[in-house]
Amino acid sequence: MSSSVRKTFISKLSAQSRCPVCGGERSGLAERSFEGAGAVMTVATYDCEAIFGADAAHIINLQPCASGSALAAKLMTIEVHGGMPKEGTQ
């Protein structure tokens, strides 16, 4: 794979100053080498604990954003209530 494509994956991830799932603030962006894999990956960490990495071939999710589960729980709660939850029920 050409180095320009590698740069595209890394610059795409580097441009994500907020979590692409929940919009949480980014807490770190660093290059990390993984033992055995022999590869250097650009790793972005977010306040919501989501971690994404970019290497030569793709962008991968190293740790999922927890907000998806929180949102799913909230949506199920709203559904059971038959609409928006009432004041003080959250």
Report the site for Zn ion in 24-83 (rule: CB under 5 A). 24, 48, 50, 65, 67
Task: Closer to Zn ion by CB, 41 or 65: give it.
Answer: 65
CB of 17 to Zn ion, least distance (A): 12
Q: Which helix (H) or strand (E) holds 45?
A: strand 39-46
Residue 86, judged by CB atoms within 10 A of its CB (0-12, 13-18, 19+), counts as exposed
CB of 67 to Zn ion, least distance (A): 5
Q: What are phi and psi of 10, to 5 degrees?
A: -70, -40
22 near Zn ion, rule: CB under 5 A: yes
21 near Zn ion, rule: CB under 5 A: yes
User: Which single residue is written with the structure tokens 């320009």?
Assistant: 4
Task: Closer to Zn ion by CB, 5 or 73: give it.
Answer: 73
Largest CA distance in the chain: 55
Binding site for Zn ion (CB under 5 A): 19, 21-22, 24, 48, 50, 65, 67
